[in-house]
Amino acid sequence: MIAFRGFEPGDAAVIASWVDGPHALATWSGNSGFTWPFTPDQLVDAHAADPARHVIVGTEADGTPVAHLIVLPDRRGWSARIGLVLVAPSGQGRGHGAAIIRAALRLAFEELQVHRVDLGVYPHNAGAIRLYERLGFRREGVLRETTLAGGQWWSTINMSLLDAEWREPRD
Ligand SMILES: CC(C)(COP(=O)(O)OP(=O)(O)OC[C@H]1O[C@@H](n2cnc3c(N)ncnc32)[C@H](O)[C@@H]1OP(=O)(O)O)[C@@H](O)C(=O)NCCC(=O)NCCS
């Protein structure tokens, strides 16, 4: 079980340490504007620059960060986009990814009361796609060649979940 709280600038160093190279940075952060070498200041500055974003940090019992993501509602409050989903490499495969996405969905559907939640994921990121599908997200289309990474253009799979789908009983 992990606990959830907001982001603190002091979390940035440990979160940045989870990103181990430019391919991992691009896979995680896409078009966010982060550059390699990734530094904690880039994360602090990006969060500070966007007061509309909700940043969720998942922590171990002692408060150590183990997961991170953002939820960005649109201006009308109709939809929210999840981004920057990251779990500490040492904590992966233990349900932390599912837990922090569920926390984001509770925030979006219960507190922000949006109608839909969406996200983008690259086709090579099979583990993330499996996670999102397991939580009920559906693929809705491909945005072609959105991201230049390592000299290659990557396309983005857009996935979404509607409030009625989220409220359906699930296994
Ligand atoms: C994608 C990512 C967030 C998934 O996080 P995670 O914590 O590993 O996710 P989960 O543990 O919930 O699920 C991963 C796997 O662990 C398994 N699992 C979940 N809970 C488990 C448990 N308690 N015990 C054993 N295995 C478990 C799941 O069944 C799943 O298996 P699968 O790989 O066959 O689908 C993580 O790999 C990550 O940070 N990747 C790098 C950044 C990235 O790609 N972000 C997404 C950008 S769109």
In a domain, 146, yes or no: no
Question: Distance between CA 56 and CA 42 in Å, rounded?
Answer: 17
Instruction: Give 32-81 pLDDT, tens digit per residue.
Output: 999 999 999 999 999 999 999 999 999 999 999 999 999 999 999 999 99
Asked if residue 89 has pLDDT above 70, the reply is yes
> What integer pLDDT is reported at residue 171 of this predicted model?
60
- Phi-psi sector, 167: left (phi>0), alpha (psi -120 to 50), beta: alpha
User: Is residue 129 situated within a structural domain?
Assistant: no
Position 125 scores a pLDDT of 98
Cα distance between residue 127 and residue 17, in whole Å? 20
User: What's the CA-to-centroid distance between 129 and ligand 1, angstroms?
Assistant: 10
In a domain, 139, yes or no: no
The pair of structure tokens assigned to 65 is 């960060």
Within a domain: 90: yes
Q: Classify residue 22: in a domain, yes or no.
A: yes
Q: How many Å lie between the centroid of ligand 1 and the Cα of residue 92? A: 5
What is the domain-level CATH number for residue 96? 3.40.630.30
Structural domain count of the chain: 1
Is position 79 within any domain? yes
Residue 45 structural domain = 3-120
Which pairing describes strands 79-87 and 65-73: parallel, antiparallel, or unpaired? antiparallel
* pLDDT 10s digits, 132-143: 999 999 999 999
Ligand 1, residues at Cβ distance < 6 Å: 27-28, 85-87, 92-98, 121, 125, 127-128, 130-131
Calculate mean pLDDT across residues 103-122: 98
